[in-house]
Structure 1
């Protein structure tokens, strides 16, 4: 683990750090550490990061929704990594994401895309999503084997977001083959020089591709988000070219990363809990509630960042204005104060599941409805069409070496 963060952690009596987010044991299963945090340090001060880690549900919900907490990206990133971080192209671009903006810029940027994610427009995508899922299964069903991540969970949301952004079908192979390395940018520890160089290079490649896409959609407008945003940029008052580029890259990444992880984590959870798997296969009408439980049980997004916009007290701890506040969504989703009936157990019939996995307040995830629909169609169809599917190794799967975005590198299965 990075030495800077190591010195900031609080330790238990056994001298084990409460928060060690990049250790292999933590990546494999962070939930025992969350239990200790909620018990021993529900608001944990991390001096080296000028920040606080919030692990209880009520405290996290407060930070997500209270106007005393904002994004203030420049303050947050410089206090985490130092002012030199803003010299890196990838960090400068992240500062233009709607996800890292406060009003009025957040309101302006979100308003340009929100209509594409209304409940009606998302539900209208169901036939297309069903066709993509069926095609993905058709590609592999005769082989008797597949990787549930690359062959299944990954293909669906990538194709959907490509459609929404108007990315030509001839270009999509680029995205199917691209390495998923961006997650480390969001982790609460500084990156190595090599990791930053890799992130800058990946950002430059994405920027170059999307500039070509913008040129295409200026010449050949379509019924897609890119055309809509290019026209807003050309209007001159609603969107700068830098904002256009940064937010298209954000929409592409956010449009598939969390859904890949949701589907993969759900499949692993089901196969680790065969009673729940059999219950769901016998009654697929339970799927909508099961999706909420999958979101709660092993969230695709484990942490979100905010900044105290004034001096605030949380859980008896005074947080100074300008300090980072990091909400552990994965921990909040396992808080026994909200889920008293064995929160660490998967229960697809659990009542009143209200996961914080999509955030809250003005930054509630735009794509939450779409992610739920994609997962519902994908899991329902897979259980129906390949009911005898077996994951090769449910005990020791290969997790991606990231913390904020929690997901699997691969998940081989056979039938």
Structure 2
């Protein structure tokens, strides 16, 4: 008799529409039967167990410098298209190994400490209430476009010092860049579109940096310019890249968390009622939304040192996808891993990474969700999915709804 789990594992194909909607039957089958899986479609290793994923995020056998080698192996025409995008991506912290990563993270973290995240709470509350008041009643609308995207975009733009009038333009830039950064599958002209998005975002930030050099303000762009360590400071390209990373990372991850989290509360009305009655559960509720089908589908690495894993040989230069959301459902780490339990403790998920590359924006993303979820389940108890299904981002790096049609009855 055929084992359906083994069959699912053998057919993990992230390009299939049903896998985009729900990748977990195939990935959890891999976790059980083939935890170090070579995937010919991705031309990469797929790791699905908690301990293996955590190791991949911390081991010196792995490198985060995955974008540059991939770019160098592209045909000359595609390299030309992506040259400006690569100018900035190669300076992003998430794609740099020590010592370059250590230097830039230190300079950026000095700027981030200029305001404690908790100071931002009243502003986040005001934005949340304003957006909630604007939501249409009695008709279908897109929760992502009308709420989940706008809240973190407004917060991060205010923090950087970017006028809110640029929000939808920057959202468009981020969406196009994600086609390349998120390893999107089957996206036509993705390199050209990603390059256009990066050019437009870089141009906007280069102009704002010039303005802040002439007239500093109390914002993150000015803080990045002022950040120094001895005689070291960020170069012009590093400043532009840092702003792009904060905008892209601080907006995309949080938007996916808010959209995906509300999808869970709609699907689990008992959890929504519990949080509405006990808003002090907000912190643990956010951690559970981060753990179960959270905003990090996977994190990519490159094999730096040949080593063995589950009887397989991983060789230098090979790509590795450490499947974060699947590791977060490993039964060896979590009891009842498929349950949505907003009281779960402990909850040692890997959604924000681990070790030196732990997400710098984790505290801000948590704050935005801790403000949003209790408010929405209290104020919008009748929020339901509309007839049209959720459309999910077709990437294996990011995970979240791209379009989420809902109604307020």
Q: TM-score, normalised by structure 2?
A: 0.89
Give 1:27-42 correspondences, 5 Å limit: 27-42=20-35
- Aligned equivalent of 1:375: 369
| Residues 81 and 190, structure 1, Cα contact 8 Å, conserved in 2 | no
- Say whether residues 1:413 and 2:407 are aligned partners: yes
Give 1:73-222 correspondences, 5 Å limit: 73=66, 76-78=69-71, 86-87=79-80, 88-89=82-83, 90-118=85-113, 121-140=116-135, 146-172=141-167, 174-175=169-170, 180-188=175-183, 194-222=189-217
- Aligned equivalent of 1:67: 60
Matches of 2:268 and 2:312 in 1, distance apart?
38
| Residues 259 and 400, structure 2, Cα contact 8 Å, conserved in 1 | yes
Matches of 2:77 and 2:278 in 1, distance apart?
55
| Residues 75 and 322, structure 1, Cα contact 8 Å, conserved in 2 | no
Give 1:269-308 correspondences, 5 Å limit: 269-308=264-303
| Residues 85 and 91, structure 1, Cα contact 8 Å, conserved in 2 | no
Matches of 1:346 and 1:80 in 2, distance apart?
42
| Residues 166 and 225, structure 1, Cα contact 8 Å, conserved in 2 | yes
- Aligned equivalent of 2:327: 332
State the Cα deviation string for residues 214-234 of structure 1 (Å, max 9, x = none): 11111221122211223459x
- Aligned equivalent of 1:4: none
SS in 1 for 2:233: coil
State the Cα deviation string for residues 144-186 of structure 1 (Å, max 9, x = none): 7643211211111111111111113444453367673332213
| Residues 383 and 408, structure 2, Cα contact 8 Å, conserved in 1 | yes
Q: Which deviates further from its counterpart, 192-201 or 258-267?
A: 192-201
CA 1:230/1:392 → structure 2, altered by over 3 Å: closer, same or farther?
A: same
Matches of 2:69 and 2:46 in 1, distance apart?
14
- Say whether residues 1:354 and 2:373 are aligned partners: no
SS in 1 for 2:395: coil
Gaps of 5+ in 2: none
| Residues 325 and 351, structure 2, Cα contact 8 Å, conserved in 1 | yes
Q: TM-score, normalised by structure 1?
A: 0.88
- Say whether residues 1:23 and 2:16 are aligned partners: yes
State the aligned residue count: 403
SS in 1 for 2:116: helix
Matches of 2:169 and 2:71 in 1, distance apart?
33
CA 1:164/1:288 → structure 2, altered by over 3 Å: closer, same or farther?
A: same
Q: Which deviates further from its counterpart, 365-374 or 265-274?
A: 265-274
CA 1:384/1:183 → structure 2, altered by over 3 Å: closer, same or farther?
A: same
